[in-house]
Amino acid sequence: MAEQHEAEIRRRKRLRVIGASVLATALIGGMTATAITVSGSSRNDHPTGTATLRPGPTADPTGADTGLTTGAPPTATATAPTGAPGPTGTASGSPTPSPGKSGGRPSGTATPGTPGASATQGAPPPAAPPAVPPAGAPAPASSAPRDPLTVISEAATDTAPLDPGTLFAAPILTVGGRTWNRIATSSTDTCWQATTGGLGDVASGQSCRKLLRATYTSGDSAVTVGVAVFDHKPQADAVGQAHKGQIQGLTTPAGIAWCVTTGCANTHTTIGRYGYYTVSGTYRPGGTTQDAAATAAGPELAAYARTRLLARGQAAVGV
């Protein structure tokens, strides 16, 4: 009986050793397959590594107890990629960087569809060309001020109100050391009715619009200053070049007529679209008597008329 019992114990030990050997063989085969899989993966996507396994204990042919517990797997130490599947044990090692990578990040230009790559930013679109005005578009208006003389050369640009009261605005003038008082003003739409000696015909031939007049007196001396109005400068120039006759002296409704015929001292000239005139004489019945003071004052009142006409253009351009 004792021999049978010892034989049974030896048989059980052999079974435990055989079982442990079978488990160790299976474990070694699985780890070898894992190492082959790791080694054969793509070198561009995964680091390479080799698992090193330590063989487990082998069965003692003598049948002695090896210290294994029935069913417990052997202990193994492996060197494999971090996170790679494998048997239970202690893993050490680090992945080998793939070509073209530095610090675990891709470098250079990524190919579309490559995982983890960022596309290279494209160049900004070209700037739009400057807008070109359409053909025939008017040029921008110039901000430069116009010339006052140019303004009063055309009715289209000389649009301020025009009447004898505003044109000959000064009620009193001092000329040649004497005081001259304005006694009458008038606006005549038919230019020839306020002229004599053929001046009306010349002015009407150039479409004279109206004749504005004012009379200034100092004692018995009188000067009438008049302005003939045209639409365009060339018309006024043509009348000046063909001048003849004179304007008539203007009096009050209850006054006496003077210088209504030729023979009195007079002046004439043009500026812009205007012709301006003076007639000087004695403020007495008949009125054709020469008057030295009036004759001397005539050019001064003509200059006054010129200043007033030019002021219209200056006001228009802000001078």
Q: Is residue 215 part of a domain?
A: yes
Last residue of a domain, one of 42, 68, 90: 90
pLDDT over threshold 80, residue 266: yes
Claim to verify: residue 75 and residue 177 sit in the same structural domain:
no
One domain, residues 84 and 181: no
Does 165 lie in the same domain as 42?
Answer: no
Query: How do residues 114-142 score in pLDDT, each as one tens digit?
Result: 444 444 455 666 666 666 556 665 555 55
What whole-number distance in Å separates Cα of residue 188 and Cα of residue 177? 32
| 253 and 164 share one domain | yes
- Looking at the fold, whether 77 and 179 belong to one and the same domain comes out as no
Are both 63 and 174 inside the same structural domain? no
How do residues 168-202 score in pLDDT, each as one tens digit?
999 999 999 999 999 999 999 999 999 999 999 99
Q: State pLDDT tens for residues 140-171.
A: 555 445 899 999 999 999 999 999 999 999 99
- Which pLDDT band, with edges at 50, 70 and 90, does 24 fall under? low
Is 17 among the domain residues? Answer: yes
What average pLDDT does the chain have? 74
* Cβ atoms of 69 and 57 closer than 8 Å: no
Q: What is the rounded CA–CA span in Å between residue 190 and residue 199?
A: 12
- For residues 216 and 94, which has the higher predicted lDDT (pLDDT)? 216
Do 80 and 174 belong together in one domain?
no
Tally of structural domains, the chain: 2
Q: Is 126 a member of any domain?
A: no
> Tokens 């008329």 — which residue?
305
Domain boundary among 46, 74, 90: 90
Please give the Cα distance from 177 to 189 (Å, whole number).
35
Answer whether residue 30 is part of any domain: yes
Looking at the structure, do residues 175 and 286 belong to the same domain, yes or no? Answer: yes
As a whole number of Å, the end-to-end CA separation of the chain is 147
197 and 303, same domain (yes or no):
yes
Please check whether residues 48 and 183 belong to one and the same domain. no
The CA distance from 188 to 204, in Å, is: 12
Supply 7's token pair: 């034989």
- Whether 130 is in a domain gets the answer no
Note down the domain range covering 63. 2-90
Report the C-alpha gap between 148 and 133 in whole angstroms: 32
For Cα atoms 182, 249, 223, give the angle at the middle one, nearest 5 degrees: 45
- Residue 54: per-residue pLDDT: 45
Answer for the pair 309, 271: CB distance below 8 angstroms, yes or no.
yes
Report, in angstroms and rounded to the nearest whole number, the Rg of the chain calculated over CA atoms. Answer: 62
pLDDT digits (tens, 9 = 90+) for 45-83: 444 444 443 444 444 433 344 343 334 444 433 344 444
Residue 207 CB contacts under 8 Å (≥ 6 apart), including other chains: 230, 231, 235
Q: Express each pLDDT in 283-292 by its tens digit.
A: 887 667 789 9
For residue 44, what pLDDT is reported?
Answer: 44
Residue 203 pairs in a beta bridge with none
pLDDT confidence of residue 285: 74
Residue 232 sits at φ, ψ, to 5 deg, of -135, 150
Looking at the structure, tell me whether residues 77 and 165 fall in a common domain. Answer: no
Measured over all CA atoms, what is the biggest interatomic distance in the chain, rounded to whole angstroms?
189
- Burial label for 95, CB within 10 Å (0-12, 13-18, 19+), is middle
Q: Which residues contact 149 (CB under 8 A, 6 or more apart)?
A: 271, 272, 310, 313
- Whole-model pTM over 0.85: no
Please report whether residue 143 resides in a domain. no
